[in-house]
Structure 1
């Protein structure tokens, strides 16, 4: 099995070198660079499997770099931020990052997050709650579902709105699949963190909220309803 190639953009020499060594010990192939412009060059040249981007790097900051990556790629992105309450966390998620890790971080936690994201992106065998024994449908005998002007092909992993294809990132697709498996049912943020982000532990619900906002912008603002104090549901 080929090694997973990680692009790591971090300007702190100590953190960059220590993290690179830790990831390589866990079997990852790591390209580590100190600034965003070099990171963009290496991303375009190497086509890594996942990108770890520190928010505050010179040349091209991590949020802008994430946005440039998202312009033409759905490669998973994890942002690294020094403060859990930083607005940079939300900005990174809004730019298209799939998750974030707060510094200082434990190497084992970072590896677990990377592996969780990679499992999500290898989602060919993904079955949302409510799916049956492998047919790719939702238990109703249908793999292609319609919600107003929105069509979801859960077997072909395709979405159309008004007949036009909708480009979703793998995380957004998993989120929509989870909603489409139980239309009209309120799904809590904790359930979505567990099912979509593969968290077996508590996570930051801002990750869910920002991705729901991004998904709404693509499938329709009124298609996913907020149920205050409980979570979200897909309107049929």
Structure 2
């Protein structure tokens, strides 16, 4: 298949971290005296940046600590959980390594840069990605297309020649808004909820076949 570049989401694709993010958010909220989610449905923020959740929290509750401190407290917890559990998806790691050197690879994640770097270090995949973009580094987070368009520009590949590997509904919407083709993995949502993707694949072997890397993982 004609593939100009492949752009991976991170949370829920390379690493089973969505539950860790939710745990870190809830622990941080509880520490501040807001057990039970503080009036926010944390699941609604899957695939979106941490800034958006904390901005909404600040708007609702006007806490005495800054947005930056909220981000830092949650980030510390996520980094600790990643180090303890190392919840990489083995098939995803094999797929990245199989594609490495065959096509340009990008990583486009709503997570903050320190969390991205912790995953890249833990998986030993840093050298496979020619472009890595955090949601904090673009004007608008998913479902806006900014992060994918920025990654494609850094890869010097037109958006329409890119494939995106995603797990979340905002991520699928962002990739489609960028004019890219999308493969979804049902790690975070049931397959039936991912119908806006071009393909839904239950395993990474199927994605490898789709992208022309069959037998390499």
How does the TM-score come out when normalised to structure 1? 0.31
Structure possessing the higher radius of gyration over alpha carbons: 1
**Please, what TM-score do these two structures have when normalized by structure 2?**
0.33
Specify which structure has the bigger relative contact order, considering alpha-carbon pairs within 8 angstroms and separated by 6 or more residues: 2
